């Protein structure tokens, strides 16, 4: 038996031997892989466990049927956008989703608490953004759910734990994304982890450093920002204590690169509870087309209200809108 296997591993191994169902065996194997230390002495055992896990998952999917597989690895999009919360085991993903949304994921200090995607809605001012807590990706189960879910998401939130080595954690998550041909990009559009011969699909990404309140976290946070701060927005917080959550809410919104605009009939007040959501750089014509396709051909002109412009000024179709603008269409 490889050296340095902790008591938690031996306990998970016992649960595996005593398991009577496939889900119980899968759960135990995932725990064993998550707990097992990484060194040359465990390489062979790790490979054996991964092979067993792969066979059990294939058997489980066959018994469950194709429909069950599809529902397990997809989450219906709700709100204006979907953000996937990624990270290794026990970095605080579930705690973050619990703190920011109406979801109720299981939160515990043992590995692999999250075993299926858990969505929740995060309010930001007058909109809702969907956050999805997913299983940890520190062992070989990524191909079952990571690729379809990462491609379905608008933003990837890469979460690391400042009580450990955040650089290694981030590198492992980014490497896994590279394996499935996802290219994370920062808000400024800088691309990293490029492939020379493969086609990569870009996804907006930001990094969240959790447990900023712990001793030694400040130094490790500085190392993280030095390595990744020029490529990604980096947010430091404590999901458990609620530190830094509001900055992250705004950061997620800004990473979406959208604007909220509001329409009003002539002579009436605007409706601020239901904004029209457009990509940054959108014009008055884009807004008109979003409201009703007939507006584009019939619109004579539009008036705009906003914080940095003359109130009610007449604008052309190609006028670029800003977040919070109010539009009055004249047809």
Both structure tokens of 329: 């269409």
pLDDT score recorded for residue 187: 61
Are both 263 and 199 inside the same structural domain? no
What pLDDT does 229 receive?
A: 92
DSSP sequence for 45-67: HHHHHHHHHHHHHHHHHHHH-HH
Tell me: do 225 and 262 sit in the same domain.
Answer: no
Q: Is residue 2 part of a domain?
A: no
Give the span between the Cα atoms of 235 and 258, in whole angstroms.
20
Domain boundary (217, 233, 255) is at: 255
Give the chain's domain count: 3
Return the closest-CA partner of residue 98 out of 112, 85, 79, 115: 85
Instruction: Say what the pLDDT of residue 323 is.
Output: 93
pLDDT value at position 192? Answer: 46
CATH of the domain at 323: 3.10.20.30
Residues 226, 293, single domain; the answer is no
Is the domain of 272 the same as that of 248? no
* 3-class DSSP state of 31: helix
Distance between start and end Cα atoms, the chain: 79
The reply to whether 116 and 240 lie within a common domain is yes
pLDDT per residue as tens, the chain (331 positions): 555 677 888 888 888 888 888 888 888 887 777 777 777 777 788 778 877 877 777 676 566 544 444 445 678 888 999 999 999 988 999 999 999 997 665 555 545 555 678 899 999 999 999 999 988 886 544 456 788 888 889 999 999 999 999 999 999 999 888 878 888 988 655 544 444 434 678 899 999 999 999 999 999 999 999 999 999 999 999 999 999 999 999 999 999 999 999 998 888 888 888 899 999 999 999 998 888 777 777 888 889 998 666 688 888 889 999 999 999 888 8
- Does one domain contain both 185 and 311? no
Domain with 274, as residue range(s), is 258-330
Task: Establish if 34 belongs to a structural domain.
Answer: yes
Q: What's residue 9's pLDDT?
A: 81
pLDDT at 279: 93
Domain containing residue 104: CATH number: 3.40.50.300
pTM > 0.85:
no
Residue 8: CA count within 13 A, CB half-sphere: 12
Same-domain check for residues 32 and 105:
no
For 131, residues 6+ apart whose C-beta sits below 8 A from its C-beta are: 82, 83, 85, 96, 97, 100, 101, 103, 119, 120, 121, 122, 157
CA distances from residue 316 to 278, 285, 313 in whole angstroms, order as listed:
17, 8, 10
- pLDDT score of 66: 43
* Domain match, 98 and 240 both: yes
250 in any annotated domain:
yes
Strand partners, 202: 183
């Amino acid at each position: 038996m490889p050296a340095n296997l902790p008591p938690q591993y031996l306990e998970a191994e016992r649960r595996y031997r005593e398991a009577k169902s496939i889900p119980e065996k899968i759960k135990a194997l995932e725990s064993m892989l998550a707990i097992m230390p990484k060194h040359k002495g465990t390489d062979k055992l790790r490979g054996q466990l991964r092979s067993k896990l792969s066979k059990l998952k294939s058997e489980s999917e066959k018994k469950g049927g194709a429909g069950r597989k599809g529902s397990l690895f997809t989450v219906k999009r709700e709100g204006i956008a979907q953000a996937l919360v990624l990270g290794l085991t026990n970095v605080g993903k579930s705690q973050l989703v619990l703190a920011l949304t109406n979801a109720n994921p299981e939160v515990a200090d043992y590995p692999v608490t999250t075993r299926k995607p858990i969505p929740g809605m995060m309010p930001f001012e007058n909109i809702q953004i969907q956050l999805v807590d997913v299983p940890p990706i520190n062992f070989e189960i990524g191909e079952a759910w990571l690729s379809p879910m990462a491609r379905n998401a608008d933003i990837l939130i890469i979460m690391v734990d400042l009580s450990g080595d955040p650089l290694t954690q981030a590198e492992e998550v980014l490497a896994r994304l590279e394996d499935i041909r996802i290219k994370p990009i920062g808000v400024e559009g800088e691309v990293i982890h490029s492939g020379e011969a493969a086609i990569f699909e870009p996804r907006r990404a930001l990094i969240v450093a959790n447990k900023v309140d712990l001793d030694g976290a400040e130094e490790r946070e500085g190392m993280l920002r030095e390595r990744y701060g020029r490529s990604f927005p980096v947010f430091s917080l404590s999901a458990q204590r609620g530190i830094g959550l509001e900055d992250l809410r705004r950061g997620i919104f800004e990473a979406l690169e959208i604007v909220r605009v509001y329409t009003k009939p002539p002579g009436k007040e605007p409706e601020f509870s239901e904004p029209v959501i457009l990509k940054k750089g959108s014009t008055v014509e884009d807004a008109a087309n979003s409201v009703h396709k007939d507006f584009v051909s019939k619109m004579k002109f539009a008036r705009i209200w906003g914080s940095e412009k003359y109130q009610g000024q007449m604008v052309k179709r190609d006028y670029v809108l800003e977040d919070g603008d109010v539009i009055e269409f004249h047809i």
